[in-house]
Every structure is written in structure tokens, then in C-alpha cells.
Amino acid sequence: MKLGDLSVGYLYSLQAALRHLGHDADALLRRYRVPPDMLARPLARISIPRFMRLGHAAIQLSGRKDIGLLMGRYSQPSHLGLPGLTAQCAPNLGQAFDVLVRFERLTSQNYRGHSSFHPPATRFYSISPYNNFNLFVVDSALASRRQLAMQLTGGAARLREVHIEFPAPDYADRYESLFGCPVLFEQEHNQLIWEAGSLDLPLIQSAPGTHAQLVELCEQQLQDLTRHRHLRERVEEILSPRLHSQLPELDEVAARLGMAGWTLRRRLKAEAGTRFQDIIDDMRRDLALSYMRDTETALGEIAFLLGFSSPAAFQRAFKRWTGVAPGQYRRQTRQQKPD
């Protein structure tokens, strides 16, 4: 199981931001195995860890820790693929955000969770613990949603507040100048809270007939994407966001899948040759390997994210899985693996 992936469309704004700052964006993208033909390939995706490493490298190249905020300024609805174009044609801003949340799977997949829409707030899922590799992800996500709202409403949309989960970084003064409203750090969620009436604003490119047609295309693509998912994948999708907390029991997962617990147990055995607990164990192992290989996340943080009782328990499990300690595994894979 991987941490997740996202459309190469998310790189267009990074490319534009670096060019604006006078840097060779294409050279950086090639270094991370994203050649020009990949950017033009329909449905091409990159892993979330590679996206985070790319963003970190862009910060080092440009010296701009606020690169995510700058990316937001260069975001376009078309960067979000078919969902972005569908949102552009929606009757009002609220329906545009609803489209982006409903069809987010078409452009990104993160095992930790997904964006959500709780009027008047548009919320970006947590990717904590935070470090130098992922602050820009939150910055770019929130800034791009603000930019999209401005573009779609001709600048009429207004924010009441912006909430951000992590502590104020050393470039905190740049947030309020971008968002034009109070920005509060160390909050429960990463979210944009809109002024009353903003979500009801009509869009300047609203086209109800085209919007309805595009929604049908989004529905079809989403069905095509999910139709062939195996039962195990559907179980993993329910379990993964809750690995660090109280995991649901088999009966609860079965109910969410519309079946009885005994039916889920029997079908897992028949279709995947596995048990419910085996799936949990395999998820923890695969995600542990991905965290150690693809991120800079500390051992204690990984232990928490995967639901281990202590870092020591995590280290024992990791050595049982791989034969080596986590730190040794990380060093070995970094020596073997190019950027």
C-alpha cells in the first residue's frame, strides 16, 4: 500500500512559480523523473512522496519557503483536470467546491483522507506530522482554492478566516497579504472559511448545460476508476485513515460495505485468500516501508501514525518485517535510490 499519488496537473503551478522566480523548472522536473512528455500525458500521476521531495527541492533551489503560496497564485481550474473544468461551469461557487470534493479521486488519492466541504468551510485533509517536506503542500492546496474562487467569481468571493494546523512558520506574514483575512495557526483543521453569501455567488463562466454534461463524464470516470477495485482495496480505504486511532471492528467495516460481518470474512477468504487482521498487519508493514523509504518522518511519528503503542514496539515489528532496524533500512534505501 502506498501513501498515495496525484495528477501531474498539480505540477503545473510549481513549474509556473519557478519560472516566475527565474529558475529552470524543467531541469528540476527532469531530475525527479518528470519529463515534458509526462506532463502532457493524460492521467499521468506521481507519488505523493515524490511530489513532496520535488517541492522541497524547489524551496532549496529558489530560497522561497513560501513556494506553496506562490504556487496558489499560478493555479488554474484546468490544472485539476476534468473536475476543475466541471467546477468552472457550475452555477455558483458552493457547487463548484462540491464538485471538486466529490470527484477528487480523479486527480489525487491519499491514504490519510480527502478534502471535504462543510459550508462555509472548504477543508483540506491533514497530512501531519509536518516537516520541511510537506508545509508547502498545505500552502499550495489552500492558496489554490482561494485563487480558484477569485477566478470563478471575478474576484467577488471573500474569506472570513483561514485556519492552518501547523504553528506559524517564519514567513507567516505572507499569509494574510495573500488571503486578505485573519490567518490562525495551530488550529484543528486546514480550511478556508468563506464570508456569508460568497458560496452563493454565480460564476462568470457558468454554463448549466455544459456543467451537467461534465458531471456525467466525471461520474463515469469515477465509476470506471472504482469498478475494478478488489474487496481488499475497499477495506483498506476504510481502515487507512484510522490506523493511528481506534480502528473499526470487522462488523463496522462490513456494514459500511453493505454486508454482514460473516459475509465480509468469507469473501475476503475467497477473493483475496486473507483475513481481516492480515489486512491491518500488511497495511502497517507496507506504509512503514513507504514512510521510511520515501519521507523524512521520524520513527516516533511513524509509530504513532501506524497505531503502535510505542516507538520500541514499532522498531521490533519493523525488524521482524525486514530483518534490519528502521534507521539501517532508511540508510540502505537512500544509498540505492536516485532522487
**Distance, CA of 75 to CA of 71 (rounded, Å):** 6
Question: Which range of residues forms the domain containing residue 107?
Answer: 67-222
Final residue before a domain boundary, out of 222, 239, 274: 222
**One-letter amino acid identity for 335?**
Q
CATH number of the domain encompassing residue 261: 1.10.10.60
Final residue before a domain boundary, out of 222, 257, 287: 222
- Residue 212, domain member (yes or no): yes
Q: Are residues 193 and 303 in the same domain?
A: no
Q: Give the number of C-alpha atoms closer than 13 A to the C-alpha of residue 218, restricted to the C-beta side.
A: 24
Q: Are residues 202 and 89 in the same domain?
A: yes
- The pLDDT assigned to 306 comes to 86
- Residue 36, domain member (yes or no): no
Final residue before a domain boundary, out of 197, 222, 247: 222
Return left, alpha or beta for 241; rule: phi > 0 is left, psi -120 to 50 is alpha, else beta. alpha
- Residue 268, domain member (yes or no): yes
**Distance, CA of 107 to CA of 45 (rounded, Å):** 8
- The pLDDT assigned to 338 comes to 46
155 closest CA partner among 79, 111, 93, 215: 93
**Distance, CA of 279 to CA of 235 (rounded, Å):** 8
Q: Are residues 217 and 71 in the same domain?
A: yes
Q: Are residues 74 and 215 in the same domain?
A: yes
| Cell representation of residue 262 | 460473516
Rg, the chain, Cα only: 21
- Residue 45, domain member (yes or no): no
CA-to-CA separations, 56 to 120, 167, 186, 250, 253, in angstroms, rounded = 32, 18, 22, 39, 37
| Cell representation of residue 202 | 454565480
Q: Are residues 190 and 273 in the same domain?
A: no
- Residue 203, domain member (yes or no): yes
Q: Write the secondary structure of the chain as one string of H (helix), E (strand) and C (coil).
A: CCCEEEEHHHHHHHHHHHHHCCCCHHHHHHHCCCCHHHHCCCCCEEEHHHHHHHHHHHHHHHCCCCHHHHHHHCCCHHHHHHHHHHHHCCCEHHHHHHHHHHCHHHCEEECCCCCEEECCEEEECCCCCCCCCCHHHHHHHHHHHHHHHHHHCCCCCCEEEEECCCCCCCCCHHHHHHHCCCEECCCCCEEEEECCCHHHCECCCCCHHHHHHHHHHHHHHHHHHHHCCCHHHHHHHHHHHHCCCCCCCHHHHHHHCCCCHHHHHHHHHHHHCCCHHHHHHHHHHHHHHHHHHHCCCCHHHHHHHCCCCCHHHHHHHHHHHHCCCHHHHHHHHHHHCCC
Q: Are residues 299 and 172 in the same domain?
A: no
- pTM equals 0.80
Number of domains in the chain: 2
- Residue 7, domain member (yes or no): no
Q: Are residues 74 and 210 in the same domain?
A: yes
Q: Are residues 111 and 218 in the same domain?
A: yes
**One-letter amino acid identity for 178?**
L
**Are 152 and 96 spatial neighbours (Cβ–Cβ below 8 Å)?**
yes
Q: Are residues 194 and 275 in the same domain?
A: no
**Distance, CA of 320 to CA of 314 (rounded, Å):** 10
Using alpha carbons only, give the angle 42, 227, 253 rounded to the nearest 5 degrees: 125
Q: Across the strands, what pairs with 107?
A: none
Q: Are residues 212 and 236 in the same domain?
A: no
- Residue 46, domain member (yes or no): no
| pLDDT tens-digit profile, the chain (339 residues) | 567 889 999 999 999 999 999 999 999 999 999 999 999 998 899 988 889 889 999 999 999 999 999 999 999 999 999 999 999 999 999 999 999 999 999 999 887 778 899 999 999 876 667 777 788 999 999 999 999 999 999 999 999 999 999 999 999 999 999 999 999 999 999 999 999 899 999 999 999 999 999 999 999 999 887 776 688 888 887 888 778 777 889 999 999 889 999 999 999 888 878 899 998 888 888 888 888 877 778 888 888 888 888 889 999 999 999 999 988 888 888 766 544
- The pLDDT assigned to 336 comes to 61
Q: Are residues 202 and 125 in the same domain?
A: yes
- Residue 180, domain member (yes or no): yes
Count, residues in the chain: 339
- The pLDDT assigned to 175 comes to 96
Q: Are residues 80 and 174 in the same domain?
A: yes
Q: Across the strands, what pairs with 241?
A: none
